[in-house]
Structure 1
Amino acid sequence: LAVADAVFIVLEVLAAAAFAATANAASAGRPFDALLAGDQSCAFWLGFVGCGILAPLAIEASALAARRSHRSSVVAVLAVLVLVGGLSLRFVLVNAGVQTAV
């Protein structure tokens, strides 16, 4: 299952990259760039990229390299990291669509 999880994490990266390219190409002002360096960049980089992609991928890669299966506590940490990453992405994308009156 660690191999399947790693494959799905890589597919998630590809989907996020495709979304970024599509969002920037379809709209004036390059809205995804605001997520990368704007007000929501901390939640995007730490939450989605760090907790949702890099940390789980590193944990899965270390398990595959050691040729061991995960303990239940590691699986629970992985589940929480993926949930935090998904929540961060949702938070960032919803806030990107909110326009405030100036």
Structure 2
Amino acid sequence: MGYEAQSKKVKISTEREIKIPEEFYEEFSLIDEVQISKVNGALIITPIIDPVFEKYKTLIMEQLTKAGYTGQELTDKFNELRKQVQVNDGFTLFMNVKPDFKKQE
């Protein structure tokens, strides 16, 4: 079984910070933290998966789309809600993403 590899060259700031390319950031729904590991001379950056959020992210996207969010606005709102969801905190998710969720103009 094969695997698909993608890579990007990024700069390291004087504060030892790297900027994760936007397409990787969005594809993996990254927000505040990742796990970084050293494996056989390679650095591996692994998303930290929030099980509550993973369970409901499709619902969140459906509701935001129904509410009229598109493009960057959709991404921003999705990430805003993502930050509010805590592990084992389904109540927060329920309160912030309801079937009648409306875009505020």
Q: Normalised by the size of structure 2, how large is the TM-score?
A: 0.31
Q: Which has the higher contact order (CA 8 A, sep 6+)?
A: 1
TM-score by length of structure 1 reads 0.32
Q: Which one has the largest radius of gyration?
A: 2
Higher helix share: 1
